[in-house]
């Protein structure tokens, strides 16, 4: 299943979003245009849908409250709303629609509450709140039915789908220095701090098969690398270990704390692609990687998507990533900052982009160029010295 359409109002730097989404969707835009905020819409829904240790209040609190989320540019309208359409794939008819509106009491404790919650299944409305009980007891509107097992039975598959959303933004330093930092691991581990534990928990056969595939890919990206293995040290701690071609015999064995940033990120990226069939949100997978390798990421994502039928939503700044000839205009969502908030437009819906593509220009040059003009004049002033 995928999210095939998204409608949002007043979410952070977006006053409104109304866009179709593909199985593989790239988000492209200048710094602070809202790519991470866009991904956070899906993480928010996941957090709301969590029946254990989650829910709407927790999801709001983790983000500093509704006042932090609500678009600063939204003057009169106090409501934040999200609506998603779920379908088997981008071409199939919509199965589920989930929609919520959230407001904040304007006096007293300023609690956040649902202005509405709706679920539609195959065109039939199966939940509409506030219902009579909600009206009798407005406290009930501080929780969604989505997050409550006792109330979500009729749309459990949709709740499960939302709970399964994954996010990856591996920060190599956090993984490498995990012991020394001894920091708190953030819930759901967005930055890959316990990535090694995840590998360790995977059944051995699957783990071996995945690491073998990763090793094949790594041999191309890191030609000196010969073998990648999982091991536990004398304290039982999980590690990745690689053999490198080296001029001194036996000197080539290294653990993950010595891997390069790009090696670690590529390992985590491929592992995540191979793991599971639920939606995967990827932040700038190109980071630390050579552009030759980055150019191969889009086809890899395409294959992973096709095999598993899962949705991948990817933020990127990379020309190399978008240079793949197989990327369709509908797969690229351009985020264009405006004074009243960021606008989103699919590359396939933009007349200028379409025109240039039909003239044979590549997706990367056309798209990155079309989001650039507003930056360019300022960037050219960036002369610190």
Ligand X SMILES: Nc1ncnc2c1ncn2[C@@H]1O[C@H](COP(=O)(O)OP(=O)(O)OP(=O)(O)O)[C@@H](O)[C@H]1O
- Contact positions toward Mg ion, by CB under 5 A? 35-36
Residues in the chain: 385
- Rule CB under 6 A: say whether 29 interacts with ligand X: yes
The answer to whether the Cα torsion of 39, 45, 51, 57 is positive or negative is positive
Q: How far is the CB of 372 from Mg ion (least distance, A)?
A: 17
Among residues 6, 9, 21, 34, the one that binds ligand X under rule CB under 6 A? 34
- Rule CB under 6 A: say whether 182 interacts with ligand X: no
- Rule CB under 6 A: say whether 31 interacts with ligand X: yes
- Rule CB under 6 A: say whether 12 interacts with ligand X: yes
- Rule CB under 6 A: say whether 126 interacts with ligand X: no
Q: How far is the CB of 26 from Mg ion (least distance, A)?
A: 13
Would you state the structure tokens that stand for residue 215, as one six-digit string? Answer: 């090793």
- Rule CB under 6 A: say whether 15 interacts with ligand X: no
Q: Report the residue number, 169 or 310, with the smaller CB distance to Mg ion.
A: 169
Select the binding partner of residue 12 from Mg ion, ligand X, none (C-beta < 5 to 8 A, by kind). ligand X
Among residues 4, 9, 35, 50, the one that binds ligand X under rule CB under 6 A? 35
- Rule CB under 6 A: say whether 9 interacts with ligand X: no
Q: How far is the CB of 40 from ligand X (least distance, A)?
A: 7
Encoded one letter per residue, x for contact with ligand X by CB under 6 A and - for no contact, window 47-86 reads ---------------------xxxxx--------------
Please state whether beta strands 343-346 and 332-336 pair in parallel, antiparallel, or not at all (unpaired): antiparallel
Q: Report the residue number, 102 or 211, with the smaller CB distance to ligand X.
A: 102
Burial class (CB in 10 A: 0-12, 13-18, 19+), 94: middle
Measured CA to CA, the distance from residue 117 to residue 74 in angstroms comes to 21
Select the binding partner of residue 54 from ligand X, Mg ion, none (C-beta < 5 to 8 A, by kind). none
Select the binding partner of residue 193 from Mg ion, ligand X, none (C-beta < 5 to 8 A, by kind). none
Measured CA to CA, the distance from residue 54 to residue 349 in angstroms comes to 37
- Rule CB under 6 A: say whether 194 interacts with ligand X: no
Q: Which stretch binds ligand X (CB under 6 A): 29-37, 79-87, 161-169, 185-193?
A: 29-37
Q: How far is the CB of 319 from Mg ion (least distance, A)?
A: 17
Measured CA to CA, the distance from residue 19 to residue 3 in angstroms comes to 11
Q: Which of 302, 63, 261, 48 minimizes the C-alpha distance to 165? A: 48
Q: Report the residue number, 119 or 335, with the smaller CB distance to Mg ion.
A: 335
Q: How far is the CB of 176 from ligand X (least distance, A)?
A: 22
Q: Report the residue number, 3 or 371, with the smaller CB distance to ligand X.
A: 371
Q: Report the residue number, 32 or 231, with the smaller CB distance to Mg ion.
A: 32
Measured CA to CA, the distance from residue 381 to residue 369 in angstroms comes to 18
Q: How far is the CB of 32 from Mg ion (least distance, A)?
A: 8
Q: Which residues neighbour 310 within 8 Å (Cβ) at sequence distance 6 or greater? A: 2, 23, 276, 277, 278, 279, 280, 304
Reduced 3-state DSSP string for 173-210: HHHHCHHHHCCCCCCCCCCCCCHHHHHHHCCHHHHHHH
Measured CA to CA, the distance from residue 61 to residue 222 in angstroms comes to 42
Q: Which of 119, 120, 116, 84 minimizes the C-alpha distance to 102? A: 116
Burial class (CB in 10 A: 0-12, 13-18, 19+), 278: middle
- Rule CB under 6 A: say whether 37 interacts with ligand X: yes
Select the binding partner of residue 310 from Mg ion, ligand X, none (C-beta < 5 to 8 A, by kind). none
Ranges of H-type helices in the chain: 35-49, 56-61, 66-69, 132-136, 156-163, 172-176, 178-181, 195-201, 204-221, 261-274, 291-308, 319-322, 351-358, 363-370, 373-379
Q: Which residues bind ligand X (CB under 6 A)?
A: 12-13, 29, 31-37, 68-72
């Amino acid at each position: 299943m995928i999210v095939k359409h998204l409608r949002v109002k007043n979410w952070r730097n977006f006053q409104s979003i109304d866009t179709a989404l593909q199985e593989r969707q790239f988000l492209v835009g200048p710094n602070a245009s809202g790519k991470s905020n866009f991904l956070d819409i899906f993480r928010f829904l996941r957090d709301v849908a969590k029946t254990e240790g989650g829910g709407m209040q927790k999801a709001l609190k983790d983000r500093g409250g509704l006042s932090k989320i609500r678009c600063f540019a939204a003057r009169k309208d106090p409501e934040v709303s999200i609506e998603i359409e779920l379908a088997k794939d981008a071409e199939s008819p919509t199965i589920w629609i989930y929609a919520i509106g959230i407001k904040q009491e304007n006096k007293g404790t300023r609690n956040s509450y649902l202005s509405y919650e709706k679920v539609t299944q195959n065109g039939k409305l199966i939940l509409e709140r506030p219902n009579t009980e909600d009206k009798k007891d407005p406290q009930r509107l501080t929780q969604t039915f989505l997050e409550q097992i006792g109330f979500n039975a009729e749309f459990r598959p949709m709740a499960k789908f939302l709970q399964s959303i994954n996010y990856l933004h591996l920060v190599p330093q956090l993984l490498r220095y995990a012991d020394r930092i001894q920091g708190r691991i953030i819930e759901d581990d967005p930055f890959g701090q316990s990535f090694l534990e995840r590998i360790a928990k995977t059944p051995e056969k699957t783990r071996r098969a995945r690491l073998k595939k990763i090793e094949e890919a790594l041999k191309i990206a890191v030609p000196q690398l010969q073998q990648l293995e999982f091991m536990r040290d004398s304290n039982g701690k999980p590690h990745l270990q690689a053999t490198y071609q080296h001029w001194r015999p036996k000197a080539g064995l290294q653990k993950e704390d010595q891997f390069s940033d790009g090696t670690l990120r590529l390992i985590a990226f491929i592992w995540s692609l191979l793991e599971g069939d639920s939606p995967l949100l990827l932040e700038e997978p190109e980071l630390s990687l050579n552009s030759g390798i980055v150019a191969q990421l889009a086809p890899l994502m395409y294959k992973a998507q096709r095999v598993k039928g899962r949705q991948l939503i990817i933020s990127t700044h990379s020309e190399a990533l978008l240079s793949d000839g197989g990327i369709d205009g509908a797969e690229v969502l351009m985020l264009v900052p405006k004074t009243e908030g960021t606008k989103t437009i699919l590359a396939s819906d933009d007349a200028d982009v379409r025109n240039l593509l039909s003239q044979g220009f590549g997706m990367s040059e056309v798209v990155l160029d079309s989001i650039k003009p507003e930056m360019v004049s300022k960037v050219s002033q960036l002369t610190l010295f």
